[in-house]
Amino acid sequence: MRDRFALFALAGLALMVAAPFLLQAVLPANQAQFWTANVLGRAVVFGIIAMSLTFLATYGGFISLAQMMIAGVAGYTVAVFVEGAVPRIVGGLGYGLAIPLGVLAATVMGLVVGAISVRTRDIYLLMITLALSMGVFRFVETNIAWFNGYEGIRNVVGPELFGLGFRDPWLFYYVALGTAALLLAGVLYLVRSPFGLVLQGIRDNPRRVAALGYDVALHRIAAFGVAGFIAGCGGVLATIYNIGISPGSIGLGATVNVLIMSVIGGLGHPVGAFLGSLIFTVFDTFAANLYDRDRFNTLIGAVFLIIVLVSPDGVIGIGARLRRLLGGSKP
Amino acid sequence: MGVNDRMDLAATIVLNGLTLAALYFIVASGFSLIFGLMRVVNMAHGSLYLVAGYVGYAVFEPLYDRDVWWAWYAGLAAGIAAAAIAGALMQKLLLGWMQGQELRQALVTIGVSIIAADQLLALYGGNPRQFFAPDAIFGSTQVPLVGGYPTFRLVQIGIAVAVGVSLWLLLNRTRLGMMIRAGVDDREMLGACGVNVPLVGVAVFALGAALCGIGGIIGSTAQPLAMGQDGRFLLISLVVVIVGGMGSVTGTAVGAVLVGLAEQLGQALFPTYSVILTFVIMVAVLALRPQGILGRA
């Protein structure tokens, strides 16, 4: 079953690599570019952030609502330290230093969140991570000296690569896709390692794992650190995609959106995060044509609610269910 | 600043903190009740606050324009009823049949809160509204050390105390309270005794939502009602309940007082960092007593 998922992921990756070319063949040039940058690119970037949640949920059983906030920590770190951001808070660093610094900050934040919530599970964990991320949001929103308050920090454009601006649609898309593929491969490798197996043991029965002599708390905190690293990579890309960052991008809405993506895709496999974010982004882009321009939230809320009510394991779960229905009871 | 001035300032800050705590207690007690008895994290609790506020205002406004003295009370009643009905419907239609699947229930309430916030925005628009308190509890009262203080804020404390006491009496001294507490300990046995358990669940949800509804009207009289308040009051309910202890009326009161005082004190002492104080308290409690100050282990 796992191998079939891996095959599925490879096929998906190939499709994503080819997508800009396919789009260009089918659609007029400006529409193809829009799809590449604003639908696929955005979906991949937010898919990375959603995957950090899916990773925790799938292999550790932790539903953390802090992942968007952690991504925001990376984004804010880059925006505060990089040269050229407006307003200049600290500045002086090039992207080559600022981006690793941002990812590092997110990893540390992930470890901190993991440490704070280490004695809680399930809905308690959900409540505490939500409270933590709302706390950071309120802090960032009211602090002018470091984060420029409500306005946020603008003009984070990313480095130049191969003589192209980072926000060139094709370049950005392939960098994002490459990052996502590497992170996904890393996650799939990690969960087969001893660390990953202990993590899954903790998900199934923490007391037994403790009785075997493993340090449950340390493994949990480390898992949150890994998720923080993933979210940090996504956060840096999202900040460059938005040409800056403001408190709204880590607010309650953004936090819940990441949860929606993960749940719609399915919390059973990390690939679900990308499926979910793609569905979410397509809905977001075309909600105006479906229901009402301003009522996107009702639409996506209803989709989310239906998924939770009908198929708690998301789109992946629907797929598995259909296969079972059509193909008899193949395991 | 003289010693007397400083005393006055301290008294004002404490009184401000207590009035805020009163509002937080009223809202969070509903959240705590539902969580403690039903094990449901109601992420739509803030939406119930908005529902009460907007529906209450829709009733209040035309009456107030005609100068009817009971306009505010009618708004209060309508707001409470709207929240209670919304809560009962949520439990009846969505949450009741997935009893025990706590995480799934939390996700369902998140979905509900997204849709509710968006539909309220569509119905009522984004303009902030504010109730005017009735004449009887309007104006200011002389308080020792503080001087003139808005009467309504003092009434707020009174209402919170009344809510707390009646909630305690209801749970500990009435037949319904007995059934609720029995249901927490052993649902199946309670059902076997001939009690309609699902109906008790709906009643608890309606009660918790009604408490949030009271908070919605009181809160929208003391400060403007606007979109975004749902997130704020959800967050406050979470923090108050995490700090005070889940499902305990006294714990919720302790949590509300701590959070209210911390917020006012923080704003007076270090305005831009005041939010951090609240969360330092939360993290400290989690590290030392994960079940909350008065929570059962």
Q: Where are the alpha helices (DSSP H) in A82-166?
A: 95-116, 122-142, 144-147
Q: What is the ipTM of this complex?
A: 0.83
A175 in any annotated domain? yes
Q: Are A266 and A276 in contact, with CB atoms under 8 Å apart?
A: yes
- If you average pLDDT over residues B222-238, what whole number do you get? 88
Name the minimum distance, in Å, from the CA of A178 to any CA of chain B.
32
pLDDT digits (tens, 9 = 90+) for A162-219: 777 777 888 899 999 999 999 999 999 999 999 999 999 999 999 999 999 999 999 9
pLDDT of residue B271: 78
Q: Is the dihedral of CA A16, A18, A24, A30 positive or negative?
A: positive
Is the CB of B117 inside 8 Å of chain A's CB atoms?
yes
Between chains, do A130 and B286 touch, taking CB under 8 Å as contact?
A: no
Distance between CA atoms of residues A222 and A231, nearest Å: 14
A93: buried, middle or exposed (CB in 10 Å: 19+, 13-18, 0-12)?
middle
Residues of B in contact with A255 (CB under 8 A): none
Cα(A74)–Cα(A64) distance, rounded to whole angstroms?
Answer: 17
**Tens digit of each residue's pLDDT (9 = 90 or more) over B23-77:** 999 999 999 888 888 888 899 999 999 999 999 999 999 998 888 888 899 999 9
Question: Is B272's CB within 8 Å of A142's CB?
Answer: yes
Sign for the CA dihedral angle at B197, B202, B203, B204 comes to positive
**A117, A263, A298: residue with CB nearest B107:** A263
Residue-number span of the structural domain to which A90 is assigned: 37-251
- Residue of A260 and B3 predicted with greater confidence: A260
**B118 interfaces chain A, CB cutoff of 8 Å:** yes
- Residue A150 in contact with partner chain B when CB distance is under 8 A: no
The hierarchical CATH code for the domain B3-288 is 1.10.3470
What is the separation, in whole angstroms, between the first and last Cα of chain A? Answer: 8
For residue A87, whether the previous peptide bond is cis, meaning omega lies within 30 degrees of 0, is yes
pLDDT mean over B206-229: 91
Residue A321 lies inside a defined structural domain of this protein? no
A6 contact partners, CB below 8 Å, separation of at least 6: A188
How is residue A86 annotated by DSSP?
A: B
Contact criterion met (CB < 8 Å) for A119 and B104: no
**B276 CB near a chain A CB, below 8 Å?**
yes
How far apart (Å, rounded) are the C-alpha atoms in residues A315 and A274? 11
A231 beta partners: none
Check CB contact of B242 with chain A, cutoff 8 Å.
yes
Taking the C-alpha atoms of residue A254 and residue A257, their distance in angstroms, rounded to an integer, is 5
One-letter amino acid at B20 equals: L
Query: What do you get for the CA distance between the two ends of chain B, in Å?
Result: 47
Note whether A117 contacts B: Cβ–Cβ < 8 A: yes
- Looking at every residue in chain B, the average pLDDT score rounds to 88
Check residue B131 and report its DSSP letter: -
| Domain-embedded: residue A157 | yes
Q: Residues of A with CB below 8 A from B107's CB?
A: 259, 263, 304, 308
- Residue B103, chain A, CB below 8 Å: the answer is yes
DSSP state of B197: H
- Residues of A with Cβ-Cβ distance to B238 under 8 angstroms: 127, 130-131
- Put simply, the answer to whether B122 touches A132 (Cβ < 8 Å) is no
pLDDT 10s digits, A75-103: 999 999 988 888 888 878 888 899 999 99
The pLDDT, as a whole number, for residue A2 is 57
CA distance A90 to A184: 33
Chain B CB within 8 Å of residue A121 CB? no
Looking up tokens 């890994």 gives A226
pLDDT tens string B251-264: 999 999 999 999 89
Residue A217 lies in a domain: yes
Are the C-beta atoms of B115 and A305 separated by less than 8 Å? yes
Distant-in-sequence, close-in-space partners of A286: CB < 8 Å, separation ≥ 6 = none
Cα–Cα dist B265/B274, whole Å? 8
Q: Please count the structural domains in chain A.
A: 1
| B235: nearest CB among A134, A296, A304 | A134
pLDDT of amino acid A331: 41
B-chain CB neighbours of A60 within 8 Å are none
A280 touches chain B (CB under 8 A): no
Report if residue A112 sits inside a domain: yes
Residues in A 284-313 with any Cβ partner in B closer than 8 A? 294-298, 300-302, 304-305, 308-309, 312
Q: Is some CB atom of chain A closer than 8 A to the CB atom of B112?
A: yes
Q: Write the pLDDT tens digit of every residue in B142-153.
A: 888 778 888 888
d(CA B87, CA B262): 30
Q: Beta strands A244-245 and A160-161: pairing type?
A: unpaired
Interface contact A31, partner B, CB < 8 A: no
Closest residue, chain B, to A57 (C-alpha): B103
Contact B286 A301 (CB under 8 A): no
| B264/chain A closest Cα distance in angstroms | 15
The residues near A78 (Cβ < 8 Å, ≥ 6 apart) are A95, A98, A99, A101, A102, A156, A236, A239
pLDDT at B209: 96
**Cβ–Cβ below 8 Å for B41 and A123:** yes
Residue A241 CB contacts under 8 Å (≥ 6 apart), including other chains: A41, A42, A45, A167, A172
Q: What is the pLDDT of residues B70-107, one digit of tens each?
A: 889 999 999 999 999 999 999 999 988 888 788 888 88
Specify whether the CB–CB gap between A255 and A294 falls below 8 A.
no
Contact status of B283 with chain A (Cβ, < 8 Å): yes
Measured CA to CA, the distance from residue B168 to residue A43 in angstroms comes to 50
In order along its 331 residues, chain A shows pLDDT tens digits of: 456 666 777 788 888 888 888 888 888 878 888 888 888 999 999 999 999 999 999 999 999 999 999 999 999 999 999 888 888 888 788 888 999 999 999 999 999 999 988 888 888 898 889 888 988 998 898 888 888 888 888 888 888 887 777 778 888 999 999 999 999 999 999 999 999 999 999 999 999 999 999 999 999 999 999 999 999 999 999 999 999 899 989 988 899 899 989 998 888 888 889 999 999 998 888 877 766 667 888 888 888 888 888 877 788 777 777 777 776 544 4
Q: Alpha carbon of A135 to those of A90, A138, A212: distances in Å? A: 23, 5, 37
Question: Measured between alpha carbons, how far is A241 from A250 in angstroms, rounded to an integer?
Answer: 15
User: In Å, how far are A51, A123, A125, A211, B285 from A120, measured between CA atoms?
Assistant: 22, 8, 5, 19, 13
Q: Do B286 and A132 touch (CB under 8 A)?
A: no
- Residue B180's nearest CA partner among B203, B151, B209, B206 is B203
Contacts of A120 (CB under 8 A, 6+ apart): A128, B286, B290
Q: What is the pLDDT of residue B1?
A: 57
Decide if B47 contacts B116 (C-beta within 8 A): yes
Rounded Cα gap, residues B16 and A150, in angstroms:
26
Q: Among B94, B110, B275, select the one facing A138 at the smallest CB separation.
A: B275
Q: Which one has a higher pLDDT value, B286 or A294?
A: B286
Alpha-carbon separation of residue B261 from B3, B21, B160, B256 (angstroms): 21, 7, 15, 8
